[in-house]
Amino acid sequence: MNFRYSAVPLEWQTLYTRDHAYRNFGRYARHYQYVFFAGLFVVAGYIAARAAPTLTQFVSSSLGASIETLAAAISLAAFLLALLLAFVALSLVRSRAYQAATAFFADFHQPSEGIDPAVVIQYRLNGKFRLPHPFTPLFQFRYLMVRDGGIVKPDEWPAWMARTLGGPLLLIIYDGYALYLERGNRFSRVVGPGERIPFLEWYETIRYVVDLRPKVREDHVRAWTKDGIRIDLTIRLECRIGDPQKKDPEGKLIFPFDPLAVKKAVERFAVRWPTCPEEEPEEFTWTDAAWGQVTSVVPDYIGSRKFDELFAADNQPGPIQSKEFDAEIKFALNELTRAFGVYIIDFQVTKVEIPPEVEHYQKEYWKAEKQGHMTRIDGTTKAYSIEQIEKTRANAQRDIIVAIAKGLQQNNTGQFTEPVLLSLSRVLDRSLRDPLTRAYLAQESLGALEQLQKYLNDQHNAER
């Protein structure tokens, strides 16, 4: 069949259509019928050519008629009889050939129970012909429906044929799914949902049914910090094939698909070999590939930091318990998974487990840190209280001294009793020695008080 692979992903959906199928397989079926009828006429003509002269001579001698009169009629009758005999003989041969082909087909492909190889052979050999509109449903191709995570009616022969042999089949793909097609065990194209319904070509087979809906995986990751402490994380990962920012231009698909992203994701598949000889190898899917990046990025992040850097410090949540950590890991994962068409939608650390002994010491350390922090707060509070009390006392002393100074300046007698002079002198001595009082008095007030102190001392000495 004339089928050319296209390197342009936008052309994959309509690279092969129903019109191509009618044209190609109708021509194939016509060639097959042409050969049959050509062989039929050749055999009938040969038989008639060999038998007509003998029959003409026999009939002519028996009836006494002219050979020329009977030759044409006997030749036509001989041809028609030979044609009938040849048709019967070739039909028997074709029937035996079908039986042999069916037996060989069953032995070679070993289809599952319930699949009739004769039906598959007849469908692929006879082909379909395009007829006018009223008769179109009589010669429609069979279809294959993809939804609910796989092929609908997977046990019937169209599904088996699509996976083993190929088309022609109409592919009805629901929103959220795509098909990865191969041709000769090599990539052919990726098709998906949309108004442009794809068609499976003769040699194309369905290799994978790809689910485009977001996938969620929750699993455990074990890592060691820079200072050798083990941390067990429970991580929830949500991912999908194709960039979630890209929307369907026509707005008719909830899960628009990117054919190139599907191709990259499927080709990321690999085979995981078992660790035990008795186990079977298993397929490594694109979700496994995305999770494999998690098991690489998260341990690297944790291994580059010490335990105290990851958890609470200075009474603030550590990086591993913050949204910033989730966003940073998500960005790093997308940088890696984008190469094979997978995008991380959400990344969350749902649970963190550390060794019990480390957890015990961690709680004791945090308890001591909290106690020390409370002690610092209490000390600061007490210091502030003492400072306010002393400040108030200094303000009161300042007011008293200023009032005394003003009273002395207004006293014209200049005579004081000895107790008054002694008390005033002591008050002034103590106040002027107090640094808080000196701090809250203006420079000129300090000078006046010092002169007053000298005056009081002189008066006190004179009274003696």
Q: How confident is the model at residue 130 (pLDDT cuts 50, 70, 90)?
A: low
Percent of the chain beyond pLDDT 90? Answer: 17
Superfamily of domain 215-354: Band 7 domain (3.30.479.30)
The number of beta carbons lying within 10 Å of the beta carbon of residue 244 is 14
Residues 281-319: tens digit of each pLDDT: 667 788 888 998 999 999 999 888 888 778 765 545 556
Q: DSSP assignment of 34-75, as one string? A: HHHHHHHHHHHHHHHHHHHHHHHHHHHHHHT--HHHHHHHHH
How many Cβ atoms are within 10 Å of 171's Cβ, its own excluded?
23
CA–CA separation, 171 and 209 (whole Å):
12
Distance CA(370)–CA(203), nearest Å, equals 73
173-201 pLDDT tens trace: 999 899 999 988 888 999 998 888 899 98
Radius of gyration of the chain (CA): 51
Alpha-helical regions (H) of 304-413? 307-310, 323-337, 356-410
Mean pLDDT of 229-246: 88
Sheet holding 187-191, edge to edge: 187-191, 177-183, 204-211
Grade residue 219 by pLDDT with cuts at 50, 70 and 90: very high
φ/ψ of 116, rounded to 5, equals -90, 115
Q: Is the pLDDT confidence value at 380 over 70?
A: yes
Per-residue pLDDT of 9-46, as tens digits, reads 888 888 888 888 877 776 666 666 667 677 767 766 66
The residue length of the chain stands at 464
Q: Taking the CB of residue 78, how many other CB atoms lie within 10 A of it?
A: 21
Helix, strand, coil distribution of the chain in percent, nearest 5? 55, 15, 25
> Whole-angstrom Cα distance, residue 44 to residue 38?
10
How does pLDDT run across 323-355, given as a tens digit for each residue?
A: 888 889 999 999 999 888 999 999 998 888 887
Residue 391: CB atoms within 10 A of its CB come to: 13
Where are the domains positioned within the chain? 9-210, 215-354, 388-463
**Could you tell me which of 23, 30, 34, 32 has the C-alpha nearest to residue 1?**
23
Reported as a pLDDT band with limits 50, 70 and 90, residue 398 is low
Quote the pLDDT of residue 444. Answer: 43
